[in-house]
Structure 1
Amino acid sequence: MSRPARLLQLLDLLRRARQPRSGPQLAQTLQISLRTLYRDIATLREQGAAIVGDPGIGYEMRPGFLLPPLMFTADELEALLLGARWARQQADPQLASAAGTAMDRIRSALPLELRIEVDTTGLLVPPVATPDQQPEPWQSSLRQAIRAQHKVVLHYQDQHGVLTHRPVWPFAMAYFERCRVVSAWCELRQDFRHFRADRVLTLHDSGERYPQSRQQLIRRWLQHTGYQVQMG
């Protein structure tokens, strides 16, 4: 976990706590040392967080303290909420849970009038999965491999039922309504290939970083496919 993400999680823990949390409790929850926790608390205090307490006593957020309000337009909030609701329907359980947590965190930092807008929005994402359609168990592993830029080996069954072992360098995953498609460089074909996640039988993350960066692969892939995408 990055330090900014850890600081945000620490703020969230203190904000939700109903009684002071001890340093060891917080450190254990965040999986960091006590020394790191004390440094993080000092950093948050320097940035204006009203954290009271000391080692041996416990820490809590001063009553009435709120995170700095996040100012979004109504359209921006609706876009965020719609995206989070879509992710909760379409993504793997880990990503779906993260989408819900992210929206809860954003909601808690909003001014009252914007929080009401979020709670009463009429934008809905109806379920699209049939009862026998479950998220592929490899989604989370594939996402993590893409993030870490790791080579993986797919035991893959193509549309004709042919089984192959594919060492690939995954760099993107597209979420279509009925399936997820992984874009990767295939060592077997020495070319870019696309694999449906629901045709992956097993997946092994080698833990080995592939030789090119994800950014390089995406640029090559865009040139290869002829897509005209503006890169920010």
Structure 2
Amino acid sequence: MRRADRLFQILQYLRGGRLTTAAQLAEKLEVTPRTIYRDVAHLIGSGVPIEGEAGVGYLMRDGYDLPPLMFTHDEMVALVAGARILQTWGGSKMAAAAQEALVKIDAVLPEAERVRAGHINVHAMETPWHGGSWRAFVDQFEAASENLIRLQITYEDEAGNRSERAVRPLGVWFWGKVWTAVCWCELRNDFRMFRLDRVVELAERDRYRPVKGQTLQDFIDTEAYCR
């Protein structure tokens, strides 16, 4: 967890005048009490009205609230543009999450910022390529790379020839029009990039362990994607 996220969570736990010890906070946030002591000292130094001391506990009186979420115009353009691009070009779950993120941001923005966000004229348009099951495959390859799940795929090359592959997904890359999955291909015993719009079928298999020389960083270091 990033420190900024941890500080925000500490504020949430201390709301409403609840006395909470550093040990309790440390257990909830999976850090050491010493880390909590430093974080609380930082919050107090920033002007947050936290009362208490180490060994006793901390609380924050009612009435303190976080300032409204604020973004610069360029930050808001980047967030809205990114979310709209994912809604159009991302996987099914990515698209839904992007929409939900926009709803949440809109709910906490001050009125003036909400109006400005609604007038951002950056859009992503669909094309005839959007047919097929590629959206689901984006989500499945992404989840498999995160959870280290081997996949069995039926893949069709540019000439229409099909092959069966057992692959270890390492990540998904977007190239402006197509998504590719970077994988360690067990058939070729080498790195391969598969266009997700050419994947015909997909099934999960067992978990795999990262192997030195077969990781995404190893692939990037080879600069094979540049050739």
Report the TM-score range of the alignment, normalised by the length of the smaller protein: 0.5 to 0.7
Q: Show the counterpart of 1:184.
A: 183
Structure 2 equivalent of residue 165 of structure 1: 164
Quote the Cα distance in structure 1 between the aligned partners of 2:67 and 2:203: 43
Q: Is the partner of 2:140 in helix, strand or coil?
A: helix
How far did 1:154 drift? 0.9
- Which structure has more helix as a fraction of its residues? 2
- 1:129 alignment partner in structure 2: 127
2:207 aligned residue (209, 212, 219): 209
Partner Cα separation in structure 1 for residue 130 and residue 109 of structure 2: 38
1:141 alignment counterpart: 140
| Alignment partners' CA distance in 1, 2:128 and 2:14 | 48
Q: 1:138 to 1:119 in 2, by over 3 A?
A: same
Q: Which amino acid in 2 is paired with 1:223? A: D
Q: Cα distance 1:86–1:159, how it changes in 2: closer, same or farther (>3 A)?
A: same
- Output the CA distance in 1 between the equivalents of 2:65 and 2:118: 19
**What amino acid does structure 2 have at the position aligned with 1:48?**
R
Is the CA contact 1:81–1:103 (under 8 Å) kept in the aligned structure 2? yes
Asked whether the equivalents of residues 152 and 203 of structure 1 are also in contact (C-alpha less than 8 Å), the reply is: yes
* 1:48 aligned onto 2:48: no
Shift of 1:176: 3.0
> Whole-Å Cα distance in 1 between the matches of residues 130 and 79 of structure 2?
29
Pairwise CA RMSD of aligned residues? 3.3
Structure 1 moving runs of 4+ over 6 Å:
none
Q: How many residues align?
A: 175
Equivalent in the alignment of 2:222: 224
Q: Deviations over 1:112-138 (max 9, x none)?
A: 22222111222222x132287245142
The separation in 1 between residues aligned to 2:112 and 2:211, in whole angstroms, is 44
Asked whether the 8 Å contact 1:68–1:109 carries over to 2, the reply is no
Distance 1:227 1:91, change over 3 A: closer
- 1:217 positional shift: 1.2
Q: Which runs of 5+ in 2 are unaligned?
A: 2-8, 18-63
Question: Is 1:96 aligned with 2:95?
Answer: yes
Are the equivalent residues in 2 in contact too, given 1:157–1:200 (CA < 8 A)? yes
Residue identity opposite 2:109 in structure 1: L
Which structure: larger Rg?
Answer: 2
**Does the 8 Å contact 2:141/2:171 carry over to 1?**
no
* TM-score, normalised relative to structure 1: 0.64
Q: Which residue of 1 aligns with 2:84?
A: 85
Report percent identity of matched pairs.
28
Closer, same or farther: CA 159–131 of 1 in aligned 2, 3 Å:
closer
Q: Provide, for residues 26-71 of structure 1, a one-character-per-residue CA deviation record: whole Å limited to 9, x for no partner.
A: xxxxxxxxxxxxxx9xx88534379xxxxxxxxxxxxxx9875222
Query: Which secondary structure state, in structure 1, belongs to the residue aligned with residue 102 of structure 2?
Result: helix
TM-score, normalisation: structure 2: 0.66
Change (3 A) 1:162 1:135: closer
Change (3 A) 1:79 1:153: same
- Structure-to-structure mapping, 1:35-74, within 5 angstroms: 46-48=13-15, 68-74=67-73
